[in-house]
Structure 1
């Protein structure tokens, strides 16, 4: 199925919760929705069945921290019964020790781990917690369980971890993980430029350095022209903010919030469409499919020129 701008809808990203066991410096803190207001695993499964019917092939779960959900394995298991092409999850890794093998057995294909440093002091500064050991151990448990590929998401921050990129790369290279260097987004919680000025890193010089080291460079044309740098049998990808026309032009994803609202555009909150209400009011599959189609028809590029 395509939207009105001829963009195919192939991916659905479901935020299972906005609760988290970290309090990261750069997090936008969307608030803590009580667990009893979150979608249940059965409700999520109902949504997935409709998504499958309209042609979605890829499912990504995120949070908050999705592994906080005590029914996370059940959610993945139900997702796995629908034969999607790809099922993935974004996590901070702290609970992967507990869940990695069960998630793999339930049908999870791969995992992205938000992991910004290997240094305990830096980790505490960024997250306000002392869970570095648990996060690193969880990542390695995911590797042991056969989740592949594992991608490490490293938000690069000035005077905090911008001098640790090669340390993280060497760690990733050892286990054949992909390192994704993520340019810091400006915090919406700041009324001035202080946060951005203090922590933002210009990625251009970093990319120029990577160009000199790389024996191969690949451009991902459908992902904002992101570049992947292949260095000494390792792989680094640079992820820029999504404030450009290229991102919108190639967007193939719908999102669903923890409280069950379809989000046609990542960058807008004024056009959400409720789907959980109709589900709880015994809507038919045909009615739910129409809600999805209405959400798709509401999609338009945020940056259109």
Structure 2
């Protein structure tokens, strides 16, 4: 009900992305967060508790704990509890670093919603996308198995997949895999930036493996059409048709349509915004405000309500050509288009996917079968590939 009121009134943020840290044990090709936010000092738990109170006061419904890799913070369960204590729903995100012990602590703190990054069912390709780290795909599968085993029956789990030049034919496999194991899928197209202007989720595409040159546009079109057909078949692809069509427009440089019912701008900060590791409010994951507005500051609710934040944010949103960072477009679409709003309600409240308790071996078999049915090939995990680095641990 709180979320519904937010989407209907559009006067309280439904959703906030909180970048806990820029630290990460991977170096994914499509992510520059370790560069974009590297200078931002992380908040302590006291500041985060105050921030959670302020977010609750202005009506925030959902917070996504993102990074970097959120699970490098050993106080993550305390961070989750800071939000659940004030009735804010928490979604955790991980690349597979999460240990069983940490996941159990997060569940005890009230975290029952998780997403894991997975871009392919081909282990060697996933390892390459993740920066050349051996067995990062295996680590993600192990975490998926743990989630399915220990999370409560009413838990929500998603695979986050980035559409990029390397994996145009792979996302249909990920959707089939997710459906088989009781997960959902959310897709984001790769965004490209430059070293002169690094942004958190915009890749440096020096090698030409992330972006979408004109010659691959027909392949992108085919991929989008397959994904839409999978949605029609009832597979667990969260994204709306409206959003999927805008992925193609984004890739091919056409004007985006998801903002057309709001004067061609996004809904930040009315429905969503982002927070950097140091607690400063951001327009989104791309843009910092010129003025510093620490969300943990006692006056933040006043700043939000008196219009100063909105005025400064709109100077960015009016000039922005638009992004396709999944959650932002989909929340606007859900708030402004009736059909997607109904689909969201049904997905989360009437027919939510049910996690299937499967072992790692069973997950591997499902993935291998899906891959074989499409390609006729079985990948040999013992065959040397392009991934040559071991997945590291991070001292906290």
Instruction: State TM-score, norm by structure 2.
Output: 0.61
1:295 aligns with 2:315: no
Cα distance, 1:288–1:13 mapped onto 2, change above 3 Å = same
1:27 aligns with 2:31: yes
Contact 1:156 1:162 (8 Å CA) reproduced:
yes
In the alignment, the residues of structure 1 paired with residue 208 and residue 244 of structure 2 have an alpha-carbon distance, to the nearest angstrom, of 29
1:215 aligns with 2:233: yes
Cα distance, 1:267–1:291 mapped onto 2, change above 3 Å = same
Structure 1 partner of 2:146: 141
Map 1:126-275 to 2 at 5 A. Answer: 126-127=129-130, 128-130=132-134, 131-146=136-151, 148-158=155-165, 160-189=166-195, 190=204, 194=208, 196-197=211-212, 203-213=220-230, 214-215=232-233, 225-226=242-243, 244=256, 246-247=258-259, 248-251=265-268, 252-275=271-294
Residue 254 of structure 1 aligns to a residue whose secondary structure is: strand
Between 56-65 and 119-128, report the one with greater CA deviation.
119-128
Cα distance, 1:6–1:87 mapped onto 2, change above 3 Å = closer
Cα offset for 1:249?
Answer: 3.9
In the alignment, the residues of structure 1 paired with residue 75 and residue 276 of structure 2 have an alpha-carbon distance, to the nearest angstrom, of 17
In the alignment, the residues of structure 2 paired with residue 209 and residue 197 of structure 1 have an alpha-carbon distance, to the nearest angstrom, of 18
Which structure is higher in helix share? 2
Residue 139 of structure 1 aligns to a residue whose secondary structure is: helix
Cα offset for 1:266?
Answer: 4.0
Cα offset for 1:55?
Answer: 1.4
Structure 2 unaligned residues grouped into runs of 5+: 196-203, 260-264, 323-396
Instruction: State TM-score, norm by structure 1.
Output: 0.77
Task: Number of aligned residue pairs: give it.
Answer: 283
Cα distance, 1:156–1:200 mapped onto 2, change above 3 Å = farther
TM-align CA RMSD? 3.7
Greater RCO structure (CA 8 Å; 6+ sep): 2
Cα offset for 1:220?
Answer: 8.7
Structure 2 partner of 1:122: 125
Structure 1 unaligned residues grouped into runs of 5+: 229-237
Which among 59, 62, 66 is matched to residue 58 of structure 1? 62
Which structure is higher in strand share? 1
CA-to-partner distance for each residue in 1:98-156, whole Å, 9 max, x for gaps? Answer: 42222122111311211112323112211121222221111221222226321111112
